Amino acid sequence: MNKEVSVENKPHLNEKSYLKTSFIRQNILPILAAFIWGTSFVAQSIASKTILPFGFNAVRNWIASAFLFLMMLLFKLYQKKQGKAAYSAYLKASFKIPKGMDIESFKKKQKKDLVIGGTLCGLALTVAMNLQQSGIGDSGAGKAGFITVMYVVLVPVFGFIMGKKTPAKIVVSVILAVIGLYLLCIKEDFTIERSDIYLLCCAVVLTIQILVVDHYANYVNGISLSWFQFTVVAVLSTILMLIFEKPPEIQLIKNAIGPILYTGIMSNGIAYTLQTLSQRGSNPTVVSLLLCVEAVFAVIFGAIILKEEMLPREIVGCIIMFIAVIISQIPIRENKNRNKSKNKSKNKSKNKSKNKNETR
């Protein structure tokens, strides 16, 4: 379940319209992002046959950076037309402004948070994207999709490491996820492909990226954060390409222009921005559950476009992993909170009746 929303200090929205936009942002946007990412696995798999990982990620992220920079300019033009009063109302309605901080001070804070948050997200994505691209060529789109969505189980696990309580459902989901990964990745002779190790490491780093986005999405514009992080990825991937690879030839880029444009604009430019927008004011574990549907889309489109087939053992592993993901998101805590509230109301009613009897 998503966090409760408050319509206080939201001068340009009534309660119904705010709840409606919050529902779309927190539920529909993650599913759209998952669809784009799922189909992007197919595009990445095709491109991996032509261009090396660092070169591919350098090109796609420069395209994403340019696309998002254009979106930022359009957004700023829209802000100017709306005026300062409307923009101040937008800031109050959309972000967590610390108590006692005025709008001008918050704008300065936003710039600082953009640099810090964008850099951290960019560093995490540089590692994750290049690990994923290195592993997807040998593992295939469908298998890569399911291994990557392990971040859904890892998000609450990392929460436990940071001191949060871990419910029994998380323990169960982790055990099931390990079993699923064993069936999906470990062969009968107890060996594991290097590509699968890359994808597992990618899932770990994506978990970090989701937690960083969860924090900074409450203070920074989603488009700006996406632009900054992909610019960082583009710069770092270009440096890594020049060190470890040769720059891709123009003909190779032309041959893979479809996958490059799709992953650059749709996957990076749009889907990651949708992720950032959907995480603002939301529960990160709920959003990550919706995002994990990308694995299903990856398998479907991998089978349709790339004619990929999985072994029965691998299919069972995917099913067990998906069950683990769903179990990890069952809202048990909320039921406890409801029971607590019921008990409190009962206690209040009992106290009232006692007070009445005493006065009598």
Domain boundaries, the chain: 15-329
Q: Decide if pLDDT at 352 tops 60.
A: no
DSSP class of residue 28 equals I
Rounded-to-integer distance, Cα 345 and Cα 34, Å? 41
Residue-level pLDDT at 298: 87
54-63, 78-87, 104-113, 350-359: lowest mean pLDDT where? 350-359
Give 8-60 pLDDT, tens digit per residue: 444 444 545 545 566 667 778 888 998 999 999 999 999 999 999 999 999 99
CA distance 257 to 38: 19
For residue 125, pLDDT beyond 90: yes
The predicted-structure confidence for 49-87, as pLDDT tens digits, reads as follows 999 999 999 999 999 999 999 999 998 888 888 887 887
Spatial CB neighbours of 289, under 8 Å, sequence gap ≥ 6: 152, 325, 326, 328, 329
* Residues ≥6 apart with Cβ < 8 Å to 214: 279, 284
49: nearest Cα among 112, 178, 138: 138
348: pLDDT confidence band, cut at 50, 70 and 90? low
Q: Are 332 and 72 in contact (CB under 8 A)?
A: no
Residue 329: what are its φ and ψ, rounded to 5°?
A: -110, 5
Amino acid 279: pLDDT:
72
Q: Distance between CA 185 and CA 180 in Å, rounded?
A: 8
Res 5: pLDDT: 38
Query: Each residue of 126-179: pLDDT tens digit?
Result: 999 999 999 998 888 888 888 888 887 787 778 778 776 767 777 787 788 778
Question: How high is the pLDDT of residue 16?
Answer: 53
Quick check: 189 pLDDT over 70? no
pLDDT band at 320 (very low <50, low <70, confident <90, very high): confident
Q: What does residue 267 show for φ and ψ, rounded to 5 degrees?
A: -70, -55
Are 277 and 25 contacting, i.e. CB atoms less than 8 angstroms apart? yes
Structure tokens at 119: 């850099």
Is the Cβ–Cβ distance between 26 and 278 less than 8 Å?
yes
Q: Which helix (H) or strand (E) holds 78?
A: helix 53-82
Coil/strand/helix, residue 186: strand
Which residue in the block uniquely carries the two structure tokens 């300065």? 108
pLDDT of residue 42: 93
Q: What mean pLDDT value characterizes the chain?
A: 81
